[in-house]
Amino acid sequence: MAQVPVQSIHRDPQLFYWILFPITIVMILTGVLRHYATVLMASAPKKQDQKATREQRSLLHGINVRGNHHVLSKPSFTARRDALITAYESGAYLKNPDSRGQPPPNPMSDPNAMEGMMGMMKNQMAMVIPNTLIMSWINAFFSGYVIMKLPFPLTIKFKSMLQAGVATRDMDPRWMSSISWYFLCIFGLQPVFNFLLGSDNAASQMAQQMNQMGPQGGAQMFGPGVDPNKQFLAEAENLAVIEHHSVLDGVEQRLLAGIKV
């Protein structure tokens, strides 16, 4: 079997100074810029009126009582449960008790909801605009030649991705053009941002997409279009079915078992 000769291409060493480093530096600076733009554009939480706050807090109160019932003694848990269930079912904590039973308003017409969507739009914009700009910048200035060789072999399928704009049929797919260096930077710069900006930064769009998957619960709970009355009724039901036990049940036995004479 004939050995396939290793392709070597003579490249100008200046390629590194004029292509590789500019792209990398621009990517890092864009990440830093995106981080600070997100920090600056983050709108402060809107002040809510007393009624709305009471509605949310009392629901959270019920949830916390349900989650931590084991640290309460039996009588105090029963007292809390009875008081909460009565208030929930009578609608005492509702923002406007008159609108019980009516369908919730259309979320599109609620100005608060529009505000939340604007925030999301701003985040999306902060992600999409720099990416588009950088990609078109790289395509305009640095396309049509290869700059580097990957240290590991790839199949021929990757050729069209890595060597976009280089129409050379027999070239090894390990050679990569500047646009593929850009993709590598997108995926691999997270540690650099962690190092520069601290670990909860907003620089990398990958991490942001991960975050968007995660904590949906908190935002959805008081989101627009959710009927608080229904939430209260469901919570009252949850509280009613709890089988109470305390952490102090049988504590004497545990203490005696733990003492070694």
Partner 1 sequence: MPSEQELQISPIVQESLVHNSRTLYNLQSLTASLFGVSAGILGLESYSGFVFYVALSLVTAVLFYALRVAPTSLASGKPPLDTSRYFRGAYDFWAGGLMNGFAGFVLTWTLFYGLVTA
Pairwise CA distance, residues 127 & 34, whole Å: 8
Size of the site for partner 1 (CB under 8 A): 30
Q: Contact between 26 and partner 1 (CB under 8 A)? A: no
Matching residue, tokens 């280089």: 166
Calpha distance 238→64 (Å, rounded) = 12
DSSP run (H or E) holding 175: strand 175-177
188 binds partner 1 (CB under 8 A): yes
Using CB under 8 A, which residues numbered 75 to 134 contact partner 1?
none
Nearest to 39 by CA among 163, 198, 170: 198
Smallest gap from Cβ 200 to partner 1, in A, equals: 8
Q: Token pair of 99, please?
A: 């609108």
d(CA 90, CA 178): 66
191 binds partner 1 (CB under 8 A): yes
Q: Segment 158-177, which members bind partner 1 (CB under 8 A)?
A: 176
- To 10 degrees, what angle do helices 21-41 and 111-141 make? 170
Looking at 150, 164, 196, 236, which residue binds partner 1 (CB under 8 A)?
Answer: 150
CB closer to partner 1 out of 112 and 131: 131
- Tell me which of 28, 190, 197, 227 binds partner 1, using CB under 8 A: 190
Q: Which part of the chain contacts partner 1 (CB under 8 A), choosing from 42-50, 98-106, 161-169, 181-189? A: 181-189
CA torsion through residues 159, 165, 169, 170, sign: negative
Closer residue to partner 1 in complex, CB, 193/232: 193
**Residue 152 near partner 1 by CB under 8 A:** yes
Question: Distance between CA 152 and CA 173 in Å, rounded?
Answer: 10
17 part of the interface to partner 1, by CB under 8 A: no
Q: Which is nearer to partner 1, 94 or 138 (CB)?
A: 138
Half-sphere exposure of 128 (CA within 13 A, CB side): 6
CA 205 to chain centre: 10
Q: Segment near partner 1 (CB under 8 A), from 9-17, 49-57, 93-101, 164-172?
A: 9-17
How many Å apart are CA 97 and CA 111, to the nearest integer? 21
Q: Pick the stretch among 72-80, 113-121, 148-156, 162-170 that binds partner 1 (CB under 8 A).
A: 148-156
User: Which residues form the interface with partner 1 (CB under 8 A)?
Assistant: 11, 13, 16, 20, 24, 70-71, 147-153, 176, 181, 184-185, 187-192, 194-195, 199, 245, 247, 254
